[in-house]
Amino acid sequence: MLRLRSVRLERGWSLVKLCQKTGIDPGTLSRIERGYIFPYSGWRKRIAEAFGLPEDMLFAEVHDDNWKAKNRV
């Protein structure tokens, strides 16, 4: 899982809200968060700007075993 998802959830943002801020389809954002697709540089920049955080922080892999249990993945 990318740190992007945990930051989005910490802020209480839905995928739709992030979509509104970036212009990126919510389904695409979901696939990016789950690591199914890798965002090209333009998407990375728009997402980082929406959060006001560096790209390398948002797109770092995090390993949270509790996340799977909490989210029943």
> Could you tell me the domains of the chain?
3-68 (1.10.260.40)
Backbone angles phi, psi at 62, to 5 degrees: -125, 145
pLDDT tens digits along 9-66: 999 999 999 999 999 999 999 999 998 998 999 999 999 999 999 999 999 888 765 5
| pLDDT confidence bin for 69, thresholds 50/70/90 | very low
pLDDT at res. 66 = 56
Q: Rounded distance, CA 71 to CA 25, Å?
A: 22
DSSP 3-58: HHHHHHHHTT--HHHHHHHH---HHHHHHHHTTSSPPPHHHHHHHHHHHTS-HHHH
pLDDT at res. 42 = 96
Higher pLDDT, residue 65 or 68: 65
